[in-house]
């Protein structure tokens, strides 16, 4: 297969894996973010935790796989983004490692302080990653200061205070409201009575926040400098990001190809709100929000993956940050074989665990 086509496929697969993460792990991150507020009593919190209990581990593999696939298919992006965003990444990892222990350990001790501690740990493990990933995306649109030396050694001047700029924080809140909406829609679907009522009551606010913040971010973006490649660039050339030139100009990110994705994101949020009394449909609608949001970001940035504000020519693009042709081929083969199998057994698991979680159903196998 053509190197250019392979790179395009892997750009799409990068999006699909991020969407898989945001849709599948998104609702359990959102559920955890809502845990202390939607669950008033211990039994309610156990109900909430057990709605995701059997599936969150599988969901989290979308995150792990995302990391592995970026490593394999976009090694330059893997090296640059994770070392460049070092402290942000540390925050994400530190809060995510609390989650397995939080889910597993929380209900194993009959002590209110113990349980409250893990409830807030789970809360942090939901809110912090959602916020930080949004902030990271917000920074992609502005570019971050980095470059390469002649050995292609990546060096950056990115600091945490630089990342926490107003536009990035708005995008962080876009991400957080998206995750909260998705979590509320999940609880609305998987619980009954008081918990369901509280989750449902949150949905209008979450949907409205998302739509408003997404619109603000979009308008703001039209005033920001976007990046574009100057002159012709080989799409099947070596993965060396130092061989092109790039300029910036206001409004470059406002690409018409992204419009359907924008409609999908905002439409999904509105539908989730309108259909909140039809819980399954509302949940499926809220799943469209991450699809549309990530597609919007990917299409607007295309062909850029990680723009550099200090040395625009060193920006990582789809055409110069990938693995070799052979590795992309091998990895594509692995995805084509295994992704359908994963989807099949994941579907089986959701079918086995279907139906609402009620307090009276909790037993000794539950969390």
Partner 1 sequence: MDLVTLSRLQFAVTALYHFLFVPLTLGLSVLLGIMETVYVMTGREIWRQMVQFWGILFGINFAMGVATGITMEFQFGTNWAYYSHYVGDVFGAPLAIEGLMAFFLEATFVGMFFFAWNRLSKVQHLMATWLLAIGTNLSALWILIANGWMQYPVGARFNAETMRMEVSDFMAVLFNPVAQAKFVHTVSAGYVTGSVFVLAISAWYLLNGRHAEFAKRSMTVAASFGMASALSVVVLGDESGYTAGQNQKMKIAAIEAMWQTEPAPASFTIFGLPDQKGRVTHMEVKVPWMLGLVATRSADTPVPGISELVGIAQKDIADGLIAYRGLMMLKEDRSDAAARKAVDDHAEHLGYALLLKNIRPDIENATPDEIVRAADSTIPNVPVLFWSFRIMVGLGLWFIVLFVLSFWLSAKRQLDRWRPYLWAAFLTLPLPWIAAELGWIVAEYGRQPWVIVGVLPTALGVSSIAAANVGMSLVGFALFYTGLLAADLYLLRKYIKLGPDAALAYAPRTEEAA
Within residues 52-71, the interface with partner 1 by CB under 8 A covers 53-58, 60-61, 63-65, 67-71
One residue of 73, 128, 229, 295 binding partner 1 per CB under 8 A: 73
The interface with partner 1 within residues 26-55 (CB under 8 A) comprises 41-43, 46, 53-55
Give the H/E segment covering residue 331: helix 325-352
User: Which listed range, 108-116, 162-170, 199-207, 301-309, lies at the site for partner 1 (CB under 8 A)?
Assistant: 108-116
Q: How far is the CB of 207 from partner 1 (least distance, A)?
A: 29
CA neighbor of 32 nearest in space, from 86, 89, 106: 106
DSSP assignment string, 87-101: HHHHHHHHHHTHHHH
Q: How far is the CB of 365 from partner 1 (least distance, A)?
A: 6
Interface with partner 1 includes 274 (CB under 8 A)?
no
The angle that helices 56-73 and 26-38 make with each other, rounded to 10 degrees, is 140
What are the start-end ranges of the E strands in the chain?
146-148, 154-156, 225-230, 245-250, 304-306, 316-317
Interface with partner 1 includes 6 (CB under 8 A)?
no
The interface with partner 1 within residues 150-179 (CB under 8 A) comprises 150-156
Interface with partner 1 includes 99 (CB under 8 A)?
yes
Q: How far is the CB of 75 from partner 1 (least distance, A)?
A: 3
One residue of 36, 105, 169, 205 binding partner 1 per CB under 8 A: 105
The interface with partner 1 within residues 284-343 (CB under 8 A) comprises 323-324, 326-327, 330-331, 334-335, 338-339, 342
User: Which listed range, 102-110, 166-174, 208-216, 224-232, lies at the site for partner 1 (CB under 8 A)?
Assistant: 102-110
Q: Site size for partner 1, by CB under 8 A?
A: 84
The interface with partner 1 within residues 109-148 (CB under 8 A) comprises 109-112, 115
Do residues 315 and 227 lie in contact, with contact meaning Cβ atoms separated by under 8 Å?
yes
Q: Which is nearer to partner 1, 230 or 330 (CB)?
A: 330
User: Which listed range, 174-182, 211-219, 274-282, 347-355, lies at the site for partner 1 (CB under 8 A)?
Assistant: 347-355
How many C-beta atoms surround the C-beta of residue 262 within 10 A?
18
Do residues 241 and 76 lie in contact, with contact meaning Cβ atoms separated by under 8 Å?
yes
**Distance between CA atoms of residues 270 and 282, nearest Å:** 10
Reply yes or no: is the peptide bond before residue 303 cis, omega within 30 of 0.
yes
Q: How far is the CB of 364 from partner 1 (least distance, A)?
A: 4
Lookup: tokens for 168: 């990035």
Lookup: tokens for 73: 């298919």
Question: Which sign does the torsion angle of CA 215, 200, 39, 358 carry?
Answer: negative
């Amino acid at each position: 297969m053509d190197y250019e086509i392979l790179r395009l496929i892997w750009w799409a697969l990068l999006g699909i894996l991020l969407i898989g993460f945001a849709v599948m792990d998104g609702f359990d991150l959102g559920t955890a973010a809502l845990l202390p507020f939607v669950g008033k009593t211990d039994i309610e919190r156990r109900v909430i935790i057990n709605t995701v209990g059997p599936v969150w581990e599988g969901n989290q593999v979308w995150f792990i796989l995302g990391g592995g696939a970026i490593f394999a298919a976009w090694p330059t992006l893997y090296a640059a983004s994770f070392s460049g965003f070092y402290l942000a990444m540390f925050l994400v990892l530190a809060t995510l490692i609390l989650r397995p222990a939080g889910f597993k350990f929380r209900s194993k001790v009959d002590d209110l302080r113990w349980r409250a501690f893990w409830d807030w740990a789970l809360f942090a493990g939901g809110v912090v990653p959602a916020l930080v990933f949004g902030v990271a995306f917000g920074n992609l649109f502005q570019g971050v200061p980095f470059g390469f030396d002649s050995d292609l050694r990546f060096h950056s001047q990115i600091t945490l205070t630089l990342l926490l700029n107003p536009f990035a924080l708005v995008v962080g809140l876009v991400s957080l409201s998206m995750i909260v909406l998705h979590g509320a829609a999940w609880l609305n679907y998987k619980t009954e009575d008081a918990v369901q009522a509280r989750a449902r009551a949150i949905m209008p606010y979450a949907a409205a926040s998302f739509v408003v913040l997404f619109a603000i971010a979009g308008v703001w973006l039209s005033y920001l400098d976007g990046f574009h490649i100057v002159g012709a660039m080989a799409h099947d050339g070596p993965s060396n990001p130092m061989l092109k030139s790039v300029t910036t100009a206001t409004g470059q990110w406002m690409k018409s190809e992204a419009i359907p994705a924008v409609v999908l994101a905002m439409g999904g949020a509105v539908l989730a709100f309108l259909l909140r009394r039809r819980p399954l449909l509302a949940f499926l609608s809220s799943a469209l929000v991450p699809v549309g949001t990530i597609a919007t970001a990917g299409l607007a940035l295309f062909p850029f993956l990680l723009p550099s504000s200090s040395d625009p020519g060193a920006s990582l693009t789809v055409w110069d940050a990938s693995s070799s042709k052979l590795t992309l081929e091998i990895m594509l083969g692995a995805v084509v074989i295994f992704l359908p199998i994963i989807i099949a057994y994941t579907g089986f698991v959701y079918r086995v665990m279907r139906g609402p979680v009620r307090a009276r159903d909790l037993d000794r196998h539950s969390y």
